[in-house]
Amino acid sequence: MKAEKNGELKIFSGRANSILATQIVTALAKNLNRNVALGEMAAKNFSDGEIWVKYEENIRGCDVFLIQPTNPPADNLMELLIMIDAARRASARRITAVIPYFGYARQDRKDQPRVAISGKLMANLITQAGADRVLTIELHAPQIQGFFDIPLDHLYTGTVLIDKIKKMKIPDLTVAAPDIGSVLLGRSYARRLRAKLAIINKDRTAHNKCKVDCIIGEVENRNILLPDDMIDTAGTLRTDVEELLTRGAKKIFIAVTHGVLSGDAWQNLTHPQIEKILICNTLEFAVPEQLQKKVEIVSVGKLLADGIQRIHEERSISDLFPERRNAIS
């Protein structure tokens, strides 16, 4: 079999999102119809914070998948790099970094003088540590795939989230792309939900702050779905919601992949006209009690399990997303 040439499948998790890692191996066990468990790995911090990692089982000649998002603090990224290095030195046949959330991706170009392109730096660090390939979900910008000189498989959460939205049977639905850069995402949601499309055109005045110039499309007396790749402070999202409501929108629904949720995010999401918030569990977060009825955490465990299985068996990843196969981005 093709899978055998890559060695025995073994999956390990860092400490950044152990809940998701457990969901991945549970889904993978169902896919393979056999027991699959997380590999034994010890990870700890010395008293000064320095990270130490050791694989507690033999991985020589194995097909190793390492699950770890790289969101701040920087320890999460450092832990992944050390996991990769330890696996390389333990003679793993192939090492795949499974990164549900790829941190530092917002700095993907030199848009001002004297700034870093941190997305490229992260790609270099992961490659130099010894990863053979990367599996990730919803990069902030598609061009980040080109920052890597090793194979990268990119998964999309549209199908997972859209299935949830369809079950809500929202009447008079308009999908509002939250900015010009999200038009393709908004168009994809609108097409698959058979909804109208609107575009929110705005200027970013500072990090996590913006001013809406205009809204293109029909939003009056419509229920609005705002899809995006992430929620950070939710400051710009709150601005979008208020602008939509002043233009006559009814209820607001939100669907995002990455719940960064820093600063005043939960406070900004506390709005009576926000009906439902769907957030994937690429990152670990706790929902405050006052929002538990509105926020639904959507698991990407099955999606990542399918990706891992296909990589291990040398099968196509794009077959998971038939709607995107012939799409032009």
Catalytic, out of 164, 169, 202, 293: 202
Report angle CA 318, 319, 324 to the nearest 5 degrees. 60
Give the dihedral sign, CA 103/108/112/115. Answer: positive
Nearest to 165 by CA among 249, 282, 259, 253: 253
Quote the CA–CA distance of 173 and 194 in Å, as a whole number: 9
Catalytic residue list contains 202:
yes
Quote the CA–CA distance of 166 and 186 in Å, as a whole number: 15
Nearest to 24 by CA among 291, 297, 281: 281
Report angle CA 232, 238, 241 to the nearest 5 degrees. 130
Report yes or no: 220 and 178 within 8 Å, Cβ to Cβ: no
Quote the CA–CA distance of 140 and 105 in Å, as a whole number: 6
Q: Pairing mode, if any, of strands 209-216 and 196-206? A: antiparallel
Task: Cite the active site residues.
Answer: 202
